[in-house]
Every structure is written in structure tokens, then in C-alpha cells.
Structure 1
Amino acid sequence: MTSLNRFIKICIAIILVFIIIYLGSLVDFVFKPFLSLFSIIMVPLMLATFFYYLLRPLVNKMVRPKLNRTMVILIIYLIFAILLGVFIIGVFPSLRTQFFNLVDNGPNLLNALSKQLQDLEQTGFLSKILPDDVSPLTQLNEYLNKGFSLLTNYLAGMFSFFSNFAVILLTFPILLFYMLKEGDKFGQKIVSFMPMRFREEGKEVVHDIDHAISGFIVGRVVVNLALGVLMYIGFLVIGLPYALLLTAVAVIMNFIPFIGAILSAIPIVIIGLIESPSVAIWSLVVILVAQQVQDNIISPYIFGKQLDIHPLTTIILVLVGSDVFGIIGVIVIIPVYMIVKIVVVKMYQLFFKQKWEDA
């Protein structure tokens, strides 16, 4: 009888939740201003969270009795301003030149790519690896049309992004400053809302979440930078054009789990193919070798067992995040999964493990 009453209560609670969701959908105009505000501050908040976990260890190490936290943060801001100036003066001109050269040479590059495919088709190389009813030139035209359509939509989206860039530029440093100054108190405030008997477990959960996200972000940055160095050296050795630009794109894209590595490899191989088939093959070899070094040597050393997520789980999470929330969902889905997993495991240990083992 007790089990039946508990089941009925759970069913009633679920029904009430769905009723609340339905009633909320009827008055969605009430929530639109809040959703609009959240969409505006979401990108600055994500950037602030990313740099908070990246810079927090440095801030903690620099704090001294005569050097308080505020002064340390301001010193780090000054150092970053100097590094940003060095980047703008030393590295950005090369990236900018390569980018505009790539854009200006776009038609010539497409013609060269078509010629390379024609040559490969005449030699019979493509007929060996493609079905008989597949024409690479026809496929190329279809992909190019899709590419130009995506590029148009992307450029239209860029105007929207830059319209909000001022908001990001103003709010991101302020959010980051207060997060670095008061960040350690956030967890304590969350735990303070819990009942007294669960506060110790709450502290453990908050600590585990904080440790997992910190390890994931710092580890991902280190791993991607190491991957970028390996790829850039390899591209220089094989003589790949636009090596710096393609490496920068690859490093940024690799922050997207699983599919980022695939998407970043496509333009690299295409540029290599335009140069020559041998350069395309060697560029693919460089990518595969760098990825293997990252996956089998660098990542296990950096992450250890912190990122205990099966590759199939990662693929499913990325697909779901992309379908529901777009590019933002792809980026944040892994940290969100880690948080949910920690909370669910702790709740299972607290409320269900003992009962199920005794049953």
C-alpha cells in the first residue's frame, strides 16, 4: 500500500509539472523579455565562464597578503591587454592577409579544384573509389551551390553577431571580473539553500562539478593548442598554402566535440588537393597523425579519467545538442552532461542505492 501511494504521488507530481508547462505556453509573452535578455547575455556569460576556469588557478597562485584578489585580476587584465596587442601586431596581419588572399583567389581556387578532379577522373583514379553512377564534377557543383548558400546565410548571421558585439565587449570583462573575485563563493551560496542534512553531500557535488568543468576546460585548451602546434608544423613541412589560417580554424573547430575535427579537415584537404593530389594526401596524413597523438598521448595525460565519456555517448550528445540548441548546444552539451551525471549519481547514492541493494 505504501508503495502504491508513493507511485500515485509521483504520477500526480508529473501531471502537475506538465500542467504547469502547458499553462506557461499559454502565457509565453510573459517570458519573452526574459528569454530575450538571456539570449543577449548568454554568449558573454559563456565566455566569462570559460575564462574564469582558465584563469582561476593563476589568480589563486598570484594572491598574496600584500596583493589582494582585485589587484591580481587587474594585473592579469593588463597582461592580457599586452598579449592582445602583440597578437594584433604580430600574428593578426598574417591571418588577415591569408584570409583575404583566400577570398580573393576563391574563383581561381574553384577552377583549379575542378581541373584537379577532371585530371583524376581521366586517370580513372576516382572511378576506383566512387560508384559508377557518381560524377565528381556534378557532385562538386552541387556541393559548391550548397556551400555558397550556407556562406550567404552565415554572412547574414554575422551582421546580427556584430550588432551584439558591443554588448559582448562591454559585459564579458565585467562578468569575468566579478566571477574571478567572487567565484569561490557561488558554490557556498548554492549549498546554503539546501537542507542542513544534505549540505555535506551538496558540498561534495558542487566540488565535483567545479573540478570536472575546470579540468575539462583547461584540458581542452591545452590539448587543442598542442594539436594546433603539431598540425602547423606538419603543414609547413608539406608546403600547404594558408597553413596558419587553416590551423587556426582547426584549433577553433576542435572545441566542438567529434564533428569539429571532421569539419576542420574538409577545407584543409580541399586546399591541399588544389595544390596537388600528393599535398592533399600528405595533409590528410598530418591531420590523422596529429589526431592520433592527441587522442592516445596528450589527452590521456591531460584528462586522465576525468573525461570518462564513451565515444558513442559523445556522438549522441553532440547530435542531440545540435538538433535542439544549434551550435551553442554542441559546445555546451558535454559540460552539461558531466554536471547532470554527477548530480544523478549522487542522488542515486543518497536515495536509491541502499533501498535497491536491500530489496
Structure 2
Amino acid sequence: MLKRYKNELKIGIMLLVLGGIIYFILLIKKVLLPFVFGTFLAYLFNPLITFLRKRNISRITALYILILVVLILFISISIFILPIFIRELEELTVTLPKYVNSLEKYVEYVNREYRRIHLPEVIKEVIDQALAKLENFILNFIENLTTSVINSLTYIVSLFISPIITYYILKDYEEIQSSFLNIVPKKYRKPVLKSGREISKIFVGFLRGQIWVSIIVGVFSTLGLMLFKVKFYLLLGILAGITNMIPYFGPVIGAIPAVMIAFLSSPVKAFGVIILFSLIQQVESSIIGPKIFSNRVGLHPLTIIFVLLAGADIFDGWGLIFAVPVAGSLKVIFKIFIEQIISIKGLSGQE
């Protein structure tokens, strides 16, 4: 009897500790972000370090080779892409209010023109409501997108220390793994190792694949928009690539600003941009597959939609990108946690 209550108390304490950890994480989310991002980069680059180590190159030498490659890429981007990016960003901050004003005037123009046509009052009322909703949607979308970008930029400042964290994790990768396992009691090491492998497969596999696909989408979007002579083609292409990492909603979120800016230039150009993004999405879908997210992370589509909304509410734009793999990882931890509870109760029942 006493043994059973002892096991139930142990389960209760475990649940309280888990709840406390989650609450603490939410409190210090901005502080944790560079560490999370740095750890992710370490997981992302570690296979390259392992590849070089198999060729009899020491870990520290392999790490310096990786740093050199990353620096070359960073310098190349800074020379060829960064000036265009900064120029477009400065121009956008100046012209964005003008674009909003133009959209409002266009909606007013459409409203005036259709009133000249003799339509039944019921139809006019429906059109009025539709136009009002469209105007509100456009204005809210621009406002929310701007707010989300600004909030994400505040996180980017803290991410500058992420490469330092990545360096030390990669440098002492094996020692960190050993130290972590030594902290875990022997009887829990097997489930911890199991969960670690599954989380690594879900988190790193998902994001690594998404990063490559997003780069491809971003490049093709930028080139396509440049061919259509859409203003801010680089900014819009980068946005399309980043938002493509968001399951289901990402391609639409990335396409809307490009279509709106193209529309202000020419409705025909906007139609061409819609076709461009549709073609890119078709190619992307044929590479990844419509159910890749559910299959890779083991989550139902409804669960994915819920965690995306929750992630956006808690962590803004970054939450949309990391919500799905984090939810998949938490599912693995929760599953193993439940297995441990069942095993404790099983032992209690046997006694």
C-alpha cells in the first residue's frame, strides 16, 4: 500500500517538474532562443564534422574548415546580395505607406464604379460587405506582417551569439553528450538515448529538409519576380523562401505580398506572379509530397495547424518555423514519459 502511494507521489512530482520546466522556458524564451538556435545549427553541421573526421581529420581542424566555408559564403552574400537587400529594405520603408494608400484608393474606386451599375439592393449590400472585409483583410495583413517582421528582428539581435554557442557545442560535442548521459541515472539512460535519437531524427531531419527546399523556393521566387520586374524582388523572394518553411500556410503567406505589390503595378503582372508561385508550389509539392509533415513528425494535420497557431502566438514568426518539429519532439518525450509511468504502475501492481 505504502509502495503504491510512493509510486503515485513519484509520478506527481515528475508531472510537477515537467510543468515547472515548461513554465520556466516560457518565462525566459528570449534568452533561450540563441541557445536553441545555436544547438540546432550544431546538429545541422555535425554530420559535416563527422564526414571529415572519417577522413582522419581531427575534430578541431574539421571545425575550422567548416568555419572557413561558412565565412566564404557569408562574405559572398555580403558582397553580392546584401547591398540590394538593404537598398530594397530602405525603399520599402519609404513606399509602404504609399502602397497602403493606393490600395485604399483602389477599393474606393471599385466601390464607386459598381454603384453606377443598377443592381438589386441585396446584391449591393453583399458587395459592400465583401469590399469592407477585403479592405480590412488587406490592412490587417500588412499591419500583422510588419509587426511580425519587427518582432522577429528583435530576436535576430540576440541570435548573433548563436554562432559562438554552435562553435563550443561542435568543439566539445562528444564531451557534452557524455556529460549529459552521466547526469542521467543508469536506469533511465536507455529511454533517454531512445528519445534523443528519435528527436534528432524528427527535429534535425525535418528542418534540414525544409531549409534546402526553402532555399530552392527562395531562389526560384527571386529569379521569377526579377523576370517579371516586380519591385523588391529580392525581399519578396527571401520572404517566400522563409515562409515556405511554415507547413500549409507558408506558400500563401509568402505569395500574398508579391501579388499585392505586382497588382499595384499591373493586374496582368499580378496574374503572372500568381502563376509563378503556383508553378513553384507544384514543383515544391512534387519534391516533398503533400503529407511530408505528418509522416516526418508523426502529427495529425489538425495538430499541426494548432501548434502553428500556438507557436505564432508565443514566439511570433520564429514560432511558425520551429513549432512543428518542436511539437514532434515533445510528442516523443511525452510518449516515453507515459511509458515510464506505466512501467512504474506496472511494478506497483505486481507488488
Aligned to 2:172, the other structure's residue is in SS state: helix
> What is the deviation of 1:104?
2.8
**Equivalent residue number for residue 251 of structure 1:** 241
Aligned pairs for 1:68-83 (under 5 A) are: 68-83=58-73
**CA pair 7-271 structure 1, distance change in 2 beyond 3 A:** farther
**Equivalent residue number for residue 84 of structure 2:** 94
What's the CA shift string for 1:171-215, capped at 9, x where partnerless? 323211111122344444444344434433432222222222221
**Segment of structure 1 superposing worse, 245-254 or 106-115:** 106-115
1:51 to 30, 41, 53: 41
**CA pair 132-263 structure 1, distance change in 2 beyond 3 A:** same
Kindly indicate whether residue 277 of structure 2 is the aligned counterpart of residue 283 of structure 1.
no
Q: Equivalent pairs: percent with the same residue?
A: 25
**Equivalent residue number for residue 266 of structure 1:** 256
Q: Aligned letter for 2:328?
A: M
**CA pair 60-246 structure 1, distance change in 2 beyond 3 A:** same
Q: Distance in 1 between matches of 2:125 and 2:269?
A: 21
**CA pair 6-328 structure 1, distance change in 2 beyond 3 A:** farther
What's the CA shift string for 1:144-167, capped at 9, x where partnerless? 488569858976x689658xx3x6
2:127 to 132, 141, 151: 132
> What is the deviation of 1:263?
2.8
Q: Aligned letter for 1:102?
A: L
Q: Distance in 2 between matches of 1:290 and 1:269?
A: 14
Q: Aligned letter for 1:266?
A: I
**Equivalent residue number for residue 10 of structure 1:** 8
- Matched length: 338
Kindly indicate whether residue 208 of structure 2 is the aligned counterpart of residue 218 of structure 1.
yes
Q: Aligned letter for 1:109?
A: Y
Aligned to 1:240, the other structure's residue is in SS state: coil
Q: Aligned letter for 1:131?
A: V
Aligned to 1:131, the other structure's residue is in SS state: helix
Kindly indicate whether residue 134 of structure 2 is the aligned counterpart of residue 172 of structure 1.
no
Q: Distance in 1 between matches of 2:73 and 2:258?
A: 28
Aligned pairs for 1:99-178 (under 5 A) are: 99-118=89-108, 120-121=110-111, 124=114, 131-134=126-129, 136=131, 140=135, 144=139, 147=142, 151=146, 165=157, 168-169=159-160, 171-178=161-168
**Equivalent residue number for residue 51 of structure 2:** 61
**CA pair 188-212 structure 1, distance change in 2 beyond 3 A:** farther
**CA pair 19-70 structure 1, distance change in 2 beyond 3 A:** closer
Aligned to 1:341, the other structure's residue is in SS state: helix
Over aligned residues, Cα RMSD in angstroms?
4.4
**Segment of structure 1 superposing worse, 300-309 or 187-196:** 300-309
Aligned 8 A contact 1:219 1:302 in 2: no
Q: Distance in 1 between matches of 2:200 and 2:340?
A: 20
Q: Which runs of 5+ in 2 are unaligned?
A: 347-351
**Segment of structure 1 superposing worse, 318-327 or 80-89:** 318-327
**Equivalent residue number for residue 310 of structure 1:** 300
Aligned 8 A contact 1:213 1:335 in 2: yes
**CA pair 142-282 structure 1, distance change in 2 beyond 3 A:** closer
**CA pair 122-46 structure 1, distance change in 2 beyond 3 A:** same
> What is the deviation of 1:266?
2.4
Q: Distance in 1 between matches of 2:148 and 2:333?
A: 39
Aligned 8 A contact 1:205 1:343 in 2: yes
Aligned 8 A contact 1:209 1:342 in 2: yes
What's the CA shift string for 1:89-135, capped at 9, x where partnerless? 1111112222222333334434443454455556659x999932326
Q: Which runs of 5+ in 1 are unaligned?
A: none
Kindly indicate whether residue 231 of structure 2 is the aligned counterpart of residue 241 of structure 1.
yes
Q: Distance in 1 between matches of 2:320 and 2:152?
A: 19
**CA pair 90-121 structure 1, distance change in 2 beyond 3 A:** same
Q: TM-score w.r.t. structure 1 length?
A: 0.74
**CA pair 237-130 structure 1, distance change in 2 beyond 3 A:** farther
**CA pair 311-20 structure 1, distance change in 2 beyond 3 A:** closer
Q: Distance in 1 between matches of 2:245 and 2:124?
A: 32
**Equivalent residue number for residue 333 of structure 2:** 343
Aligned 8 A contact 1:236 1:243 in 2: yes
Q: Aligned letter for 2:8?
A: I
**CA pair 255-46 structure 1, distance change in 2 beyond 3 A:** farther
Aligned to 1:241, the other structure's residue is in SS state: coil
